[in-house]
Amino acid sequence: MSDLDTAARPYAKAIFELASAEGNLQHWGDSLQVAAVVASDADMQAMFALPSMLANQHSELFLSVVSGIKDAPKMSADFKNLIALLAQNGRLSALPSIATTFESLKQEAEGKIEVVIRTAQKLTAKQQSAMAKSLAKKLGKEINITTEIDETLMAGAIIRAGDMVIDGSAKGRLDKLTTVLSK
């Protein structure tokens, strides 16, 4: 886990608690997604590294960029305070990780989970549906599947659902066999 992910977790949890109490999960999620896009920009990352800028200048510039985005959610006073706090603590670059962690917490609360399935070949709609049903039953959550093609797997699939990873790929099995045989 990266340092930014570690730093992001307490911020995301605090924002989630605030958003839950306000009944504003969707608005906060949308706001954080926009902020994450802005924070990921290479020019913005370079601005974060400028020692000549004060924290309040970082937050003012950041907020002005966010407010200039068409269709961006309206910035609440709490959102502006969050940006100022992150700037003060040198954590604006953690916004993408904060947004991702917040979204995971939100989905958990809603009984949903994002599942990424990496396969060597494209899955059919029937295969995706069967996997979604099986995972929904196992995890007890509504499943949203994203598929990726990775020809290095040779066959099978690697399934990621939150912290859970199921490696049913031929490559994974061969790697395990190699490890066992090398001992």
Residue 75: CB atoms within 10 Å: 16
Weakly modelled stretches of the chain, pLDDT under 50: 1
Whats the size of the chain, residue-wise?
183
Question: Domain 3-107 belongs to what architecture?
Answer: Orthogonal Bundle (1.10)
Tokens 């917040």, located at residue: 102
| Beta carbons of 38 and 44 less than 8 angstroms apart | yes
Q: SS in 3 state form for 65-124?
A: HHHCCCCCCCCCHHHHHHHHHHHHCCCHHHHHHHHHHHHHHHHHHHCEEEEEEEECCCCC
* Rounded Cα gap, residues 8 and 41, in angstroms: 18
SS3 call for 157: strand
| Beta carbons of 143 and 160 less than 8 angstroms apart | no
Q: Which residues contact 23 (CB under 8 A, 6 or more apart)?
A: none
Tokens 């000549």, located at residue: 52
Boundaries of CATH 1.10.520.20 in the chain? 3-107
Return the exposure string of 97-132: e unless at least 16 CB atoms fall within 10 Å of the residue's CB, then b: bbbbbbbbbbbeeeeebebebbbbeebeeeeeeebb
Q: What's the pLDDT score for residue 2?
A: 63
Q: What's the pLDDT score for residue 81?
A: 93
Tokens 């490890």, located at residue: 179
pTM, whole model, 2 decimals? 0.70
